[in-house]
Structure 1
């Protein structure tokens, strides 16, 4: 008896390698996937603006990254004793205006430097509902809990999203014709919008992505993270306590399907070796100062050296520093 509906993954998805350069932007699902890719030593720039939910704000961010924009004090506002950017997540907010600008512009410089080298751009759309500032007329990425009266709330249309991204991708691909773009729609349900409004929003995003795939058949791809949770797992035991976010088990499942669909066989072997190093470092010795444990740490360093000898672009700086500190202890 078959008690689930398997989701068939699209044929012809690309296979990423550790030598590739990646950038991820979008909802907290993009942040989760990006963190996991970093942990397995992929070269990623993840959410340089923090979490962004709507497609228009993601496209603005990409244009600013490509242009090498630098933010100034006039683009921040003070609310509840904190300085905020309407384009950035609250993780950038602070009571220190200069600190906000430093953090924003540092991340922007890093993203701009990486942008021209990108092999893959992974974009996760969270919602088609947007908030427009009545003062500026612009869609904001984050309201920062300001009064709703300051904004006009509306749902983007399919045509509006497609028009914006057709122009954006045409421009980006002209400068970087090798770039592949992987779209996903976040499986996180925006319950605050109401379930019907959430479903309309997700449908809008899915239809827009489908049209973009038709317009850019060699460059635009779709990974069905949304369908894997909603159709294949399809049970509240795969949701967190808020009944909106996927549980860890669900994210693990989607991640597993993503890895085996989009990552090359050689990269899978590197992942396994990197995971072995991580597990060795997580080992808690009974006697940290013993010669036996120092020999064990030496074996870890040797494994890192061997892996870096074959793949010099892998970043094991953090692991090397941990070994150095423990060896000196």
Structure 2
């Protein structure tokens, strides 16, 4: 039997992956915009990229929220509801916590817990007052309800499973919850907000493989309905990019669930192309070069070559800051401390 030789030129022409074509969005993001990102841990990834590139960003001030109901409750929280929540602070193993808030707020005293949450809430209010673009990452449609009062919890804080009922949200519940939150924000702030939805590319396999797919599909149906009904809502397909475009385990962390740095950079690039103007993308490229230079670690910080490098970098940043109207005062102050006076 004769083996058929493979033509390498034909091999290179083969389509080996399914790339997702993402259309340019009408609502572009610039460095003049403020952005509030809330939801699952994937919001942290995108938020950190935006921070690195000098955007005005606040990320998950009240902590990570995986399900849409808890996320909407965080966004629509007011002082009255916040103080009412403080009446339900729990104490277990000498730690104070609340089922609506992330474990990062857990404290040894009730007073410390209240102070930490109030500070985070104030940061959210300040960002909302800037009329930000709101980026929402839905993680799962599965929720845990307290049996005692049917309250949907944001975080179970490792309490016994016998305290909760587990169920999946309906599309109607998610849609109605978002609409209520949206109306409350518009009433309180006197204007509409632009929303960008995405579904976390992290698979929640503790719920089960089939259950995870059911959850993600429910979230997708709810978002589709909202984006179809509201012009100020758009969808960025981070989940689809991960499971269809980057459908290989080399793009995952060791847990085979979370996207690794390569995947996050790829998704960030797709997000940039979809939501940034050509001008903003050029600014981002320049900022990435500046950040790379700022992280440069010379062999001898006092050498003449390094001092010339620092002075040039400082002048380049000043010029770019003036042209772009982007604040680099913190970076310039750090460089000032490194440049020798000669």
TM-score, normalising length from structure 1?
0.91
Give 1:102 deviation, angstroms. 2.4
* Residue 268 (structure 2) aligns with: 255
The Cα shift of 1:161 comes to 0.6
Matched, 1:301 2:314: yes
After superposing the two structures, state which structure 1 stretch, 52-61 or 65-74, moved more.
Answer: 65-74
Distance 1:319 1:70, change over 3 A: farther
Answer whether contact 1:71 1:105 (CA < 8 A) is retained.
no
Deviation at 1:65, TM superposition (A): 5.9
Q: Is the Cα–Cα contact under 8 Å of residues 138 and 219 in structure 2 kept in the other structure?
A: yes
Residue 191 of structure 1 pairs with residue 205 of structure 2: yes
Corresponding residue number in structure 1 for 2:106: 93
1:1-329 paired onto structure 2 within 5 Å: 1-10=14-23, 12-64=25-77, 69=82, 74-173=87-186, 175=189, 177=191, 179-216=193-230, 218-312=231-325, 314-327=326-339
On the 8 A contact 1:239/1:250 being kept in 2, the answer is: yes
Cα distance in structure 1, aligned partners of 2:340 and 2:62: 38
Of 168-177 and 108-117, the range deviating more from structure 2: 168-177
Query: Post-superposition shift, 1:319?
Result: 1.8
* CA distance 1:89–1:4, shift in 2 (3 Å): same
> Which structure: larger Rg?
2
- Cα-to-partner distance string for 1:25-82 (whole Å, 9 max, x where unaligned): 0111111000110100111111111211000000000001698946875343222332
TM-score by length of 2: 0.88
Alpha-carbon displacement from aligned partner over 1:186-227 (angstroms, at most 9, x marks no partner): 1100010000110100000000001111221x1110011111
- State the alpha-carbon separation in 1 of the partners of residues 100 and 185 from structure 2: 21
Distance 1:290 1:138 in 2: 63
Count of residues paired in the alignment: 327
Stretches of structure 1 lacking an aligned partner (at least 5 in a row):
none
**Structure 2 regions of 5+ residues with no counterpart?**
1-13
Pairwise CA distance, 1:317: 4.1
| Contact in 2 for aligned 1:34/1:46 (Cα 8 Å) | yes
Q: Contact conserved, 2:24 with 2:273, CA < 8 A, in 1? A: no
CA distance in structure 2 between the aligned counterparts of 1:301 and 1:42, rounded to whole angstroms? 20
Question: Is the contact between residue 13 and residue 221 of structure 1 (CA under 8 Å) also seen in structure 2?
Answer: no
2:36–2:134 CA contact under 8 A, matched in 1: yes
**Alpha-carbon distance between aligned partners in 1 of 2:329 and 2:117, rounded to the nearest angstrom:** 24
**Alpha-carbon distance in 1 for matches of 2:81, 2:97:** 20
1:128 Cα offset (Å): 0.2
Q: Find the residue that maps to 1:273 and give its secondary structure.
A: helix
